[in-house]
Structure 1
């Protein structure tokens, strides 16, 4: 593996310099069905419906116009999107294609819709657009249409060794660098030949690929005083004394439990407790695993936003990645409450937060299921994502010294121990 290849920052969804996005999104030579990306191609019905929604709602119509006036335009990265109609054309092109590998130089890693929308997310009018319930309901419809293609065999055209496809030598190098082994040795594949898509049946099948058993084993699985990482993720923060209701939209007032849990009846049990949050990149493993032995007490899917972010003045377009705590209160998410077998840990909650693209939170456990540490809980399907572990105030948690903001913690690795309990 070449040491010169730069693996993109964990937690980032788009590149620092959005000028490179123009060619990635607009200059693709052809759609997988052989149709050219021409500007006069009739929009898909779900995109036509989105355009009609904008034009029929005076507030949305105004906001979609204003956000184009408010957006920064560094290096001409939006030179083909002048108004909301151009944006509809861009979205229409995206949902006919599978995400491509952008290359080691421009570091675009497969989130094309957010790549187009990101500059608008950090504008006042864009904030109004992406927190609008009707817009988010329509985005969900668009994602459903896109997902139909991404789960089909036709989407495998990007799973080859060709340029800007996911199994070309550069892409395989980038995906293998942090794992320290080859793609085939790290991931469960149905075929050893990259030209046969490694046996993956669709883009979604590739995106939700699993580690081989030897890659992420639970260490000391019988020690009830150890809590493991639920996801392969970059540590965002660990915060204690979390309030029931707080100003989650203001930096420094990070978590508002009542909003995060959608006012669930379990909320009072966690007031004053601890939140651990980790961010997944587009190249990470996207399955969730139980951090404790225990029993599933409740699961819940909560609809929400996809591209809303806390506004700031940073010229970097990746504002949603800078809003990780903010999105826990408003984005589409899943809750899984687990009663640990260790009474000192007691009830805890895993929160999966889907952000952008086809961010389906798929729960695979049900109430009453008995879990062992490392058992599968569910998965994210295509899209950027973040997650939290939430603990009650009575749980005497201690993070291991290596668990610090900015570090990457492997799924099933030990991240917390119970104070006065046995670490190892």
Structure 2
């Protein structure tokens, strides 16, 4: 609990307050915080990364009809990320459940989409059911100088009470800094997908190598994710 504020568990009046606990300042240092060409991890989680949607579908997301167009329910948005590189973060109930921006940029658009709360563990993701496109989710598109447009999708899962991107970041034109807290999940497991336009990012080699072996890497907010190309 030393990473959180308050650090005394008795100061949380409800379990929900504990579940959505906030980090202490500087408890998750942001890698190369002043370098906007360096993208960072968005959540305490397990992550896999892929250089294309095709690789992600072949190795990790097996839903037969999965596409980013369906995930965001928009051809206009989805078509911009048709050949995107993907980072998929899975949070468990014991994790810190606030999530942060991977990049520096400007909010271009926000949308909240209704849905269910199916499980998003690896077994579920590798079934033929399109879990991610059926679950409750919020997304923002961010415009950046270094990566072009970046899509950030927060997805609810089993027992999640809500998915909430902060109102500040629901407004087009709002500036966001790398590492800024974008929103929070209420109780339960959850998932995040971040999509980078084709050719805009080089993911860290260690993350790519493990992902190719279908191995998730345990990560924390602010760790290195990759670099703009």
Give 1:378's aligned residue.
183
Q: For residues 226 and 278 of structure 1, do their structure 2 counterparts lie closer, same or farther at Cα, with a shift above 3 Å needed?
A: same
Q: Match for residue 409 of structure 1?
A: 219
Q: How far off is 1:229 after superposition? A: 0.8
Query: Quick check: 1:290 aligned with 2:101?
Result: yes
Q: In the alignment, what sits opposite 1:336?
A: 140
- Does residue 357 (structure 1) correspond to residue 159 (structure 2)? The answer is yes
Query: 384, 387, 401: which one pairs with 2:192?
Result: 387
Kindly name which structure, 1 or 2, has the bigger radius of gyration based on alpha carbons.
1
Give yes or no for contact 2:36–2:178 (8 Å, CA) kept in 1: no
Q: CA deviation at 1:321?
A: 4.6
- 1:216 is aligned to 28
Aligned to 2:17: 205
The CA deviation at 1:255 is 3.9
Report the 3-state secondary structure (helix = DSSP H, G, I; strand = E; otherwise coil) of the residue aligned with 2:69: helix
Q: How does 1:125-204 map to 2 (within 5 A)?
A: 183=1, 185-189=2-6, 192=8, 194=9, 197=10, 199-204=11-16
**Match in the other structure for 1:262:** 73
Indicate the structure with greater strand content.
2
Paired with 1:274 and 1:254, the residues of 2 have a C-alpha distance of 18
Separation of aligned partners in 2, 1:254 and 1:223: 37
Aligned length in residues? 213
Q: Considering only aligned residues, what root-mean-square deviation do their CA atoms show, in Å? A: 2.3
- In structure 1, what is the Cα distance between the partners aligned to 2:31 and 2:122? 31
- Residue in structure 2 matching 1:369, options 135, 157, 174: 174
Q: Structure 1 unaligned runs (5+)? A: 1-182, 310-318, 420-424
- Higher helix fraction (1 or 2): 1
* TM-score relative to the length of structure 1: 0.47
1:231 aligns with 2:35: no
**1:254/1:401 Cα in 2 relative to 1: closer, same or farther (>3 Å)?**
farther
- 1:16-35 equivalences under 5 Å are none
> For the Cα contact (< 8 Å) 1:295–1:341, is it kept in 2?
no
2:51 to 240, 244, 259: 240
Task: Report SS of the residue matched to 2:18.
Answer: helix
Deviations along 1:270-304, one digit per CA (max 9) or x if unpaired, are 10111110110111111111111100111111111
- 1:253 shift after superposition: 5.3
Evaluate the alpha carbon distance shift between residue 409 and residue 300 of structure 1 in structure 2; reply closer, same or farther with a 3 A threshold.
Answer: same
Distance 1:275 1:255, change over 3 A: farther
Quote the Cα distance in structure 2 between the aligned partners of 1:252 and 1:381. 25
Choose which of 319, 323, 329 in structure 1 pairs with 2:124. 323
Q: How does 1:97-136 map to 2 (within 5 A)?
A: none
CA distance in 2, matches of 1:390, 1:292: 12
Measured in 1, the distance between the counterparts of 2:32 and 2:50 equals 26
| Deviation digits for residues 100-132 of structure 1 (CA, Å, limit 9, x no counterpart) | xxxxxxxxxxxxxxxxxxxxxxxxxxxxxxxxx
Q: CA deviation at 1:241?
A: 3.4
Q: How far apart are 1:202 and its partner, in Å?
A: 1.8
Shift of residue 201 of structure 1?
A: 2.7
Contact 1:297 1:368 in 2 (8 A): yes
- How far does residue 268 in structure 1 lie from its aligned partner after superposition? 1.0
**3-state SS of 1:224 partner:** coil
Aligned match of 1:281 = 92
Taking CA–CA contacts closer than 8 Å with sequence separation of 6 or more, which of the two structures ends up with the larger relative contact order? 2
Q: How has the CA–CA distance of structure 1 residues 399 and 354 changed in structure 2, closer, same or farther, with 3 Å as cutoff?
A: same
C-alpha change, 1:401 and 1:242, in structure 2 (3 Å) is closer
